[in-house]
Chain A
């Protein structure tokens, strides 16, 4: 038994009213995502990772709160900023990092990269580099689930930038008409790349899904407990045949649109960033609450962070040392057998 587990067991043994375990697990998942993204940043800036990297730092509570409320066989579709969704749904760090480095051991044999990780074993139908591009896939997966009667539901993660895409509205219309088991999770991180969403989004965001008769809720995307509790309720509703729902999550992208987006002064202030990082941080909000409740102390969060870092370092070492795909792979998997 690890020291952390012993600590938890000891706490539970004291007869606390709240089971701390699920919260610590959520904290751990968020810490893993953050450590993963910090490592990606390091690999990228150290010229060890090719391509593009869009970091999820600051938005961890959404992926974790949503995926904790799902069953393993449920589907998700993700975005170009998708590392957090992948990890939260159950992907392993080593194979994800191998994919990011273009290695054969990666989830897609190195053929997808950061923006296209798909892990069907964990229900992840793939990240997508077309903004809003996976809305059809998620809705189609929900269609399959309903037709096949397998009890699954589908979650479509997308940023508020995707609200500019017509496809979103075409598929939401059909999801509502046909009562499909799909949850549209809008991560409003406030920025369509380098443009504040208020400059691109007319009216109220929630009025849009409501216009299709889709049940719509809003949640603080920095509070993983709120995301989880809301999702748990929505998942039950959707799974029991209540039709699609739309969950708007308010959040913030700490870093640039991608790793190279360093100078952000033309679209937002350092003070604004600092405010979110200091007072609206999802890890701090959860740890602060747990401490206030007397359910945990700082020691355990330090320990979780250390364990996450170790897992990520081990995964990175695996990925760095893993071989690239053989050149004969280049024209394989263009067509399925």
Chain B
């Protein structure tokens, strides 16, 4: 489990994000937030509500609806002494920022021979089942995880969200930070004391012996639900959250698969060429001689996310489908 000091305080995922931002805004005057409706509106998810009251419109900046432009300004500001947090309301709008993220932010440090750097955070969302249809429901973190020079965080709990976001803001590289919008109301322990969580360190969310379920973001909760169900079927599942897809904690994933000899990777991005493919490959390569079954991948169905609830729910992994897949892998159909 997480190495957290539990003082009994609980926060929602959204409040943990807000607290991380507020603490870093207080700590470092070069930190600022720029995005659409981030100030008085506090974003449509109300995650940033109240920040403008404390830090003012000079640091919590409402921008035009110009994702590429604010990302580009973020890159330039980061190169010249600021630490921008660029707010991209929906992950589906990340493609609008891709030139600036992929060709500029990710490459400036390398192309300049290490002289320039881009300490910037791009905060955005992922996750389906909000009945928001194909352009407000995607989980596109794999696109950015693909790019050398970028780091990508996909927190699953309020505790991780706060600690990882503070690390992201202090990192000297461009970091894409993906929050599942379905988790903003999720409550969990977040101690009062200051802490950060390093990137590239997976967290074992549940210990187990028979099968490893690697899961990201809200899929961690799906995996934990499946693990409970599996326990009643006599299967002990270990749930591992990589917490960052780039850098990726390969060792923890491989060690767990070596221990359990079976692995499923669950992620809400499209399955094809996705995060599940990368992680499954890492496990297959690193634990090959210890595996009793092929590594199984469970991503979002390779279709645009449909609007109709009757259809949308079919497209993402659920407790049912993960538990059934795990049973099947363990030979308990």
CB of A125 closer than 8 Å to a CB of B: yes
Per the bound structure, the CA–CA distance linking A126 and B104 in Å amounts to 10
A140 touches B77 (CB 8 A): yes
CB of A133 closer than 8 Å to a CB of B: yes
- Interface residue ranges of A157-177 to B (CB < 8 Å): 166-167, 170-171, 173-174, 177
CB of A108 closer than 8 Å to a CB of B: yes
Of the residues B30, B70, B75, contact of A137 by C-beta under 8 Å: B75
Q: B5 contacts which chain A residues (CB < 8 A)?
A: none
Per-residue A-contact encoding for B50-87, CB less than 8 Å = 1, 0 else: 00000000100001101011111111111111101000
CB of A27 closer than 8 Å to a CB of B: no
CB of B108 closer than 8 Å to a CB of A: yes
Per the bound structure, the CA–CA distance linking A77 and B76 in Å amounts to 10
B82 touches A147 (CB 8 A): yes
Q: A137 contacts which chain B residues (CB < 8 A)?
A: 72, 75-76, 79, 104
Nearest residue (CB) in A for B172 is A336
A144 touches B74 (CB 8 A): no
Per-residue A-contact encoding for B96-133, CB less than 8 Å = 1, 0 else: 00011001100011111111110100000000000000
Per the bound structure, the CA–CA distance linking A279 and B143 in Å amounts to 52
Q: A77 contacts which chain B residues (CB < 8 A)?
A: 76
Q: A332 contacts which chain B residues (CB < 8 A)?
A: 114
Q: B100 contacts which chain A residues (CB < 8 A)?
A: 133, 136, 167
A140 touches B115 (CB 8 A): no
Known: A125-B80, A148-B81, A174-B64. A136 touches B115 (CB 8 A): no
B173 touches A335 (CB 8 A): yes
B23 to chain A, nearest CB (A): 20
A312 to chain B, nearest CB (A): 22
A140 touches B68 (CB 8 A): no
Known: A143-B77, A173-B64. A136 touches B112 (CB 8 A): no
Per the bound structure, the CA–CA distance linking A174 and B116 in Å amounts to 24
Most buried by B among A75, A107, A130, A334: A334
B181 to chain A, nearest CB (A): 25
Query: Can you list 27 pairs linking A and B with CB atoms under 8 Å apart?
Result: A107-B115, A111-B111, A111-B113, A112-B111, A116-B111, A118-B108, A118-B112, A120-B115, A126-B111, A136-B73, A137-B76, A140-B84, A141-B76, A141-B79, A143-B76, A144-B81, A145-B80, A148-B30, A167-B69, A167-B99, A170-B69, A171-B66, A173-B66, A334-B148, A335-B109, A335-B173, A336-B117
Interface residues, chain B, with chain A CB atoms under 8 Å away: 30, 32, 58, 63-64, 66, 68-82, 84, 99-100, 103-104, 108-117, 119, 148-149, 151, 172-173
Interface residues, chain A, with chain B CB atoms under 8 Å away: 75, 77, 106-112, 116, 118, 120, 125-126, 128, 130, 133-145, 147-148, 154, 166-167, 170-171, 173-174, 177, 332-337
